Amino acid sequence: MMNRLDYLIEYLLKEDPQYSEMEIPSDLQGKRDLFRALRNVRPPKPVSEEFLQFQDEELRVQLQEKGIVALPDMPMQIWQGDITRLKIDAIVNAANSQMLGCFHPLHKCIDNAIHSAAGVQLREECHQLMLQQGHEEPTGQAKITKAYNLPCKYVIHTVGPIIPIGIPTEFQKEQLASCYRSIMSCADENHLESVAFCCISTGEFRFPNQLAAEIAVQTVKDYLTGHPDCSVKQVVFNVFKDIDKVIYQQLL
């Protein structure tokens, strides 16, 4: 395991001269943190097949250590924990308008967590999508990609509204609702049966937690009511913070 990590870290260090003198930690967690951080700051570009093989092996080991979670077959439910552990058709990523993942090393946002667990392939696929599109991703839409080393099958990316002072306008409320509608539509179009939503636009985007949850639940319910033939049969509202768990429990 240590030799594999050493190879991966040295490969990434050699890609960028500014990191050439960086010392590799001697402990396992230190090496894993450095491996993740180097991938976080790495721009999208090709890698060798050998790198992908070793990276995928390492990420599968880390996933097995975290544990894969398969949820009971329920139409609508809450699950608190790390969304990158869920074995489900699709998980939702709260992306930014660049759609390339978080470039801040070891940042605790969901965008960073998902890209880190998926591997460098996810950023490259997102990069190709954005090149084809030719402009930044608008707020309220959704794009689907493969999941690579995640236990889910796909990742659905959406850009939620940013609320600088924490008081959303009616337009921003509609933007958030559009995120949920677009994700449901994307999942339906791709014949997916299960989707795990994160708490889009809360946290650093500063959308109020209570209002965001109300919009999420109502929008998903409205979509399912208006689309009786929708392929999605299982909706999971994934929460990380205790406050969000309490809010969703009250709403559901």
Q: What is the pLDDT of residues 116-136, one digit of tens each?
A: 999 999 999 999 999 999 999
The SS3 assignment for 42 reads coil
Whether 1 has a pLDDT exceeding 70, the answer reads no
Would you say 212 and 200 are in contact if contact means Cβ atoms under 8 Å apart? Answer: yes
Q: How far apart are CA 235 and CA 184, in angstroms?
A: 10
Between 91 and 2, residue with greater pLDDT? 91
The confidence score (pLDDT) of residue 20 equals 77
Between 236 and 20, residue with greater pLDDT? 236
Which amino acid does the sequence have at 225? T
Query: What is the residue-averaged pLDDT of the chain?
Result: 96
Count of other CB atoms within 10 angstroms of residue 171: 9
Which amino acid does the sequence have at 79? W
The confidence score (pLDDT) of residue 204 equals 84
Would you say 60 and 147 are in contact if contact means Cβ atoms under 8 Å apart? Answer: no
Structure tokens at 111: 């965008």
Q: How far apart are CA 56 and CA 62, in angstroms?
A: 10
The confidence score (pLDDT) of residue 2 equals 57
The confidence score (pLDDT) of residue 105 equals 97
Domains detected in the chain: 68-251 (3.40.220.10)
The confidence score (pLDDT) of residue 152 equals 98
Whether 208 has a pLDDT exceeding 90, the answer reads yes
The confidence score (pLDDT) of residue 192 equals 98
Whether 80 has a pLDDT exceeding 90, the answer reads yes
- pTM, full prediction: 0.95
Q: How far apart are CA 95 and CA 152, in angstroms?
A: 17
Q: Which whole number is the average pLDDT over 226-252?
A: 96
Write out pLDDT tens, residues 48-67.
999 999 999 999 999 999 99
Rg of the chain (C-alpha set): 19
Q: Which whole number is the average pLDDT over 165-184?
A: 96
Q: How far apart are CA 19 and CA 151, in angstroms?
A: 32
The confidence score (pLDDT) of residue 166 equals 80
Please report the beta strands in the chain, taking only residues with DSSP state E, as ranges in sequence order: 76-80, 90-95, 143-146, 154-159, 194-197, 234-239
DSSP class of residue 84 equals: G
